[in-house]
Amino acid sequence: MGIYFRKRRSLLGNLLNVNLSRSGIGLSVGVRGFRLGVSSSGRRYVSAGLPGTGIYYRHFAKRERNPTKPKPAKPEINSDRTPAMADASLLHPAHRQIHNAAYNAGFLFGWLLILTPFALLAWLVWLGLR
């Protein structure tokens, strides 16, 4: 069992959080129940939870092992046939960045699409309790 240290400072209401820990500084942006962030080690994540319950889910984005060293191209077995979908590892590094950005945007949009009805319902319940 270890000793841990973590301190969170909220800026702009609760929209922007700065997380201070022994390993460094992390940032997160979002509202109560849904946040996007970068940990102190530089890992990007999406966090969704049920406020007040302590139940949450955090998904860390995959990161490349050696982004500066391109992988060698795979030889084609059958050159007269074109694959239906291009493999991201065969793309040029600049195109791979665009591909990864589009993948992350789709991932974020998917989470927003899933969580919007729950956030709307929680907001309506909150307004009813006031």
pLDDT of amino acid 62: 82
pLDDT of amino acid 84: 45
pLDDT of amino acid 74: 67
Q: Where are the domains of the chain?
A: 6-67+91-129
pLDDT of amino acid 90: 65
Enumerate long-range contacts of 32-35, CB under 8 Å, 24 or more apart.
33/115, 33/118, 33/119, 33/122, 34/111, 34/115, 34/119
Q: How many angstroms separate the Cα of 41 from the Cα of each of 21, 90, 127?
A: 10, 28, 38
Strand extents, DSSP E, the chain: 6-11, 16-21, 24-31, 34-38, 44-50, 55-60
Answer whether 0.75 is exceeded by the pTM.
no
Strand extents, DSSP E, 51-122: 55-60
The pLDDT tens digits along the chain (130 residues) read 566 666 778 888 878 888 888 888 898 898 888 889 998 888 898 988 888 888 888 888 887 666 666 666 666 555 455 444 445 556 677 777 777 777 788 888 888 788 888 888 888 887 877 6
